[in-house]
């Protein structure tokens, strides 16, 4: 059997904090998306879905041969389980492909009160060995999202010893706490991170101060804008290690970021879709393209590393001191329509841009081109020299055909 025949194509799984992001992720290549419902999730501010929005999202996904999963991975306290049975039945009946859960109580409720709804184990449950995966298999779960602390060697060992589906994070923010189980937010802002209220205390800026009684505080480091003290981890990117992930049996490539923008979701889904397709087409001659790496840096908010896959992160995987790489692009608009006769595109503005700016258009399938803004017109067809108002509609000539849903960005 050849390498190509033996390998299974992994699912590209993208985050979708809103219905708009769901549709964007799928258009840009995601095989599946994960969303939050109105309860039991860990992103209370992520624009979670109503049942009606879920139904629309599921219909859109099915039309594009994609799946929708719902994260219900909170740690429950007494009374938090009230209504869970009805919640899971609604998810099942609306057509959700699986629910992602960490709390054993919610797993039991889902299995008994919503039979037929597949259950995936959340990364919050810290699955780090194949015996754990086998345990959850006996409990009826078909997929496990591995703890982010698992190494690539451990992924290989897990795959050799179990047939449970493996989902693993391959891109996005890394939580400083083990498998995301943090209580900093509880103590510092009285918001329970494990019940959806994380205030991201680890991302705050810290310093060392003297606090004279009755006086103003003064920095003892006098570091200005430099960040000397940090609990903030760099982000993960595994774009350069697609072969390792596929050859070691990862079934689903999970991208973090339900609170990120459609710029982020579209770009990252586009890149990993292209990389997976390229590898599966010819694994023996696969090469990671520099353009994929460059593309991911266009939406990176922090520096990038490989997490725990190849070594234990050190101080080099922490954010402190001067920024070693600064994001260079910002999202400025999206294409709503294109007139093939006039070569004019109708655009919804997302950030300020103006005449003379060099902008980049990109779309699904890694279609890119750049041009200079030479003309713009408002909704009254009046010539304008800048687009300053959020979400305003405008038209402009484009040098290549574009499609609805294509995105526009410019270098900062």
For domain 329-411, give the CATH number. Answer: 2.40.30.10
Residues 6 or more apart from 409 whose CB is under 8 A from it? 263, 298, 329, 330, 331, 332, 359, 360, 362
- Tell me the average pLDDT across 82-106: 95
The better pLDDT of the pair 301, 270 is held by: 270
Looking at residue 4, its pLDDT comes to 39
Sheet of strand 407-411, all strands in order from the earlier edge strand to the far edge: 367-372, 358-363, 407-411, 329-339, 344-349, 393-397
Domain positions in the chain are 3-178+232-317, 329-411
- Residue range 46-75, pLDDT digits in tens: 458 999 999 999 999 999 999 999 999 888
Determine how many CB atoms are found less than 10 A away from the CB of residue 299. 21
Looking at residue 2, its pLDDT comes to 33
Looking at residue 47, its pLDDT comes to 57
Share of the chain above pLDDT 90, in %: 70
> How far, in Å, CA of 21 to CA of 258, rounded?
9
- Tell me the average pLDDT across 193-221: 74
- Tell me the average pLDDT across 318-340: 83
Residues 6 or more apart from 279 whose CB is under 8 A from it? 242, 243, 246, 286
Looking at residue 81, its pLDDT comes to 85
For domain 3-178+232-317, give the CATH number. Answer: 3.20.20.70
Looking at residue 121, its pLDDT comes to 97
Using pLDDT thresholds of 50, 70 and 90, give the confidence band for residue 412: confident
Looking at residue 212, its pLDDT comes to 80
- Residue range 133-176, pLDDT digits in tens: 999 999 999 999 999 999 999 999 999 999 999 999 999 988 77
pLDDT surpasses 80 at 326: no
- Helix and strand tally (H, E) in the chain? 11, 20
- Residue range 113-142, pLDDT digits in tens: 999 999 999 998 999 999 999 999 999 999
- Tell me the average pLDDT across 4-8: 65
Using pLDDT thresholds of 50, 70 and 90, give the confidence band for residue 98: very high
pLDDT surpasses 90 at 314: no
What is each CA distance from 276 to 7, 8, 72, 272, in whole angstroms?
12, 11, 28, 6
For 23-32, 139-148, 180-189, 313-322, which range has the lowest pLDDT when averaged over its residues? 180-189
pLDDT surpasses 50 at 199: yes
Residue 117 DSSP symbol? -
pLDDT surpasses 80 at 200: no
β pairing state of 235-237 and 165-172: antiparallel
- Residue range 252-294, pLDDT digits in tens: 999 998 889 999 999 999 999 999 999 999 999 999 999 999 9
C-alpha dihedral, 192 to 85 to 61 to 262, nearest 10°: -10
Looking at residue 3, its pLDDT comes to 36
pLDDT surpasses 90 at 109: yes
Instruction: Tell me the two tokens of residue 14.
Output: 């993208």
> How far, in Å, CA of 117 to CA of 94, rounded?
11
The DSSP annotation for 7-52 comes to PPPPEEEEE-SSHHHHHHHHHTT-SEEEEE-SSS-S-TTS-PPPHH
> How far, in Å, CA of 66 to CA of 12, rounded?
10
**Angle (CA) 198 201 204, round 5°:** 135
Instruction: Tell me the two tokens of residue 343.
Output: 């070569």
């Amino acid at each position: 059997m050849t390498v190509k025949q033996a390998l299974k194509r992994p699912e590209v799984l993208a985050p979708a904090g809103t219905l708009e992001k769901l549709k964007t992720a799928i258009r840009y290549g995601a095989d599946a998306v994960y969303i939050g419902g109105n309860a039991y999730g860990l992103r209370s501010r992520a624009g979670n879905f109503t049942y009606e929005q879920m139904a629309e999202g599921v219909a859109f996904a099915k039309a594009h041969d994609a799946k929708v999963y719902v994260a219900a991975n909170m740690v429950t306290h007494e009374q938090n389980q009230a209504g869970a049975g009805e919640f899971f039945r609604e998810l099942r009946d609306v057509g959700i492909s699986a629910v992602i859960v960490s709390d054993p109580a919610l797993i039991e409720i889902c299995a008994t009160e919503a039979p037929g709804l597949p259950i995936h184990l959340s990364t919050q449950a810290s699955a780090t060995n194949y015996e754990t995966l086998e345990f959850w298999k006996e409990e009826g779960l078909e997929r496990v999202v591995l703890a982010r602390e698992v190494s690539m060697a451990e992924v290989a060992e897990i795959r050799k010893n179990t047939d449970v589906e493996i989902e693993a994070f391959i891109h996005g923010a890394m939580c400083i706490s083990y498998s995301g189980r943090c209580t900093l937010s509880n103590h510092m802002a009285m918001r329970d991170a494990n019940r959806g209220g994380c205030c991201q205390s680890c991302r705050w800026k810290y310093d060392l101060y003297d606090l004279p009684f009755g006086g103003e505080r003064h920095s003892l480091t006098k570091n200005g804008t430099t960040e000397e003290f940090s609990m903030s981890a760099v982000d993960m990117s595994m774009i350069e290690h697609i072969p390792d992930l596929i050859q070691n049996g990862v079934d689903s490539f999970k991208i973090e970021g339900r609170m990120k923008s459609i710029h982020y979701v579209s770009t990252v889904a586009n890149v990993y879709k292209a990389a997976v397709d390229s590898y599966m087409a010819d694994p023996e001659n696969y090469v990671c393209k520099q353009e994929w790496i460059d593309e991911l840096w266009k939406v990176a908010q922090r520096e990038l590393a490989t997490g725990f896959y190849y070594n234990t992160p050190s101080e080099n995987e922490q954010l402190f001191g001067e920024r070693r790489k600064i994001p260079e692009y910002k999202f400025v608009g999206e294409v709503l329509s294109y007139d093939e006769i006039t070569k004019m595109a109708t655009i919804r503005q997302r950030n300020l841009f103006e005449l003379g700016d060099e902008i980049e258009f990109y779309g699904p399938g890694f279609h890119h081109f750049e041009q200079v803004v030479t003309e713009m017109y408002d909704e009254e067809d009046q010539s304008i020299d800048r687009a300053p108002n959020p979400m305003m509609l405008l038209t402009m000539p484009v040098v290549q055909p574009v499609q609805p849903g294509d995105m526009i960005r410019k270098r900062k």
